């Protein structure tokens, strides 16, 4: 079972996590949803670790919250989840076991992308720190597409993994009708055109999810 820690963005004075167990980060804006989801995720993790639920009081966005935690955590792996996540049994233990030996990204089975996109994912900290100068996600995004770019980086380098038994589903009843941030879409398209900083040469990969 995971240890639960609830806090607010900007109120974290020290690094969270330890060097032996994974850290799960859940930014949230709805405390009721967050408490229900975090409790269920902690009970079903199948292993020890810490779940840090961070209230985004300043509305800086999911990506900025996760990046701020990732920069200082000593945890060997970090999972990013949302306030409306629902987990299958042993979701974290199974994902930890599925990690590539050389480090990379595990895409949880979310009932939509079937491992092709890590909308919820688990990263090896050592691999991820080399992608964006210490950030987990490219910091130019605010709400969307950061997970897409990260997934493509992992896939291009052969470091994307998926265990269909590691289930983590977003329970969003209006998801199919939700809008996508136009600024984030434009940024993604411009970065895809240049291979995300000349890191992805394959035109098929660069054109996915665009």
Q: From first to last of the 210 residues of the chain, give the pLDDT tens digit.
A: 999 999 999 888 788 999 999 999 999 999 999 999 999 999 999 999 999 999 999 999 999 999 999 999 999 999 999 999 999 999 999 999 999 999 999 999 998 888 999 999 999 999 999 999 999 999 999 889 999 999 999 999 999 999 999 999 998 766 555 567 899 999 999 999 999 999 998 888 887 876
CATH code of the domain made up of 2-141+155-173:
3.90.550.10
What is the reported pLDDT for 175?
A: 59
Q: 63-93: per-residue pLDDT in tens?
A: 999 999 999 999 999 999 999 999 999 999 9
Give the whole-angstrom CA distance, residue 195 versus residue 174.
Answer: 32
What is the reported pLDDT for 150?
A: 98
What is the reported pLDDT for 176?
A: 56
The model's pTM is: 0.94
Give the dihedral sign, CA 164/50/103/122. Answer: positive
Contact 126, 103 (CB under 8 A): yes
Give the whole-angstrom CA distance, residue 57 versus residue 16.
Answer: 19
Give the whole-angstrom CA distance, residue 163 versus residue 91.
Answer: 10
What is the reported pLDDT for 173?
A: 66
What is the reported pLDDT for 207?
A: 79
User: E strands, 29-117, where?
Assistant: 49-55, 77-80, 85-87, 105-109
What is the reported pLDDT for 56?
A: 97
- The residue ranges of every structural domain in the chain are 2-141+155-173
For residue 70, which of 151, 18, 146, 129 has the smallest C-alpha distance?
A: 129
What is the reported pLDDT for 179?
A: 63
């Amino acid at each position: 079972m995971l240890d639960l820690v609830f806090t607010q963005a900007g109120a974290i004075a020290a690094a969270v996590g330890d060097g032996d167990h994974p850290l799960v980060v859940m930014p949230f804006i709805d405390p009721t949803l967050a408490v229900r989801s975090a409790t269920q995720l902690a009970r079903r993790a199948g292993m020890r670790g810490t779940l840090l639920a961070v209230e985004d009081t300043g509305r800086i966005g999911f990506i900025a919250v996760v990046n701020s935690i990732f920069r200082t955590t000593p945890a060997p792996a970090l999972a990013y989840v949302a306030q409306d996540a629902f987990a299958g049994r042993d979701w974290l233990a199974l994902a930890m076991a599925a990690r590539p030996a050389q480090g990379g990204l595990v895409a949880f089975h979310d009932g939509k992308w079937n491992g092709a996109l890590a909308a919820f994912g688990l990263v090896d900290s050592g691999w991820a720190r080399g992608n964006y100068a210490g950030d987990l996600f490219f910091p130019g995004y605010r709400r969307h597409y950061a997970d897409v770019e990260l997934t493509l980086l992992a896939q291009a380098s052969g470091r994307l993994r998926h265990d269909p038994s590691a289930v983590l589903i977003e329970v969003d009843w209006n998801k199919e009708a939700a809008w996508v941030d136009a600024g984030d879409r434009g940024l993604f398209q411009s970065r895809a055109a240049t291979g995300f900083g000349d890191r992805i040469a394959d035109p098929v990969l660069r054109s996915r999810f665009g």
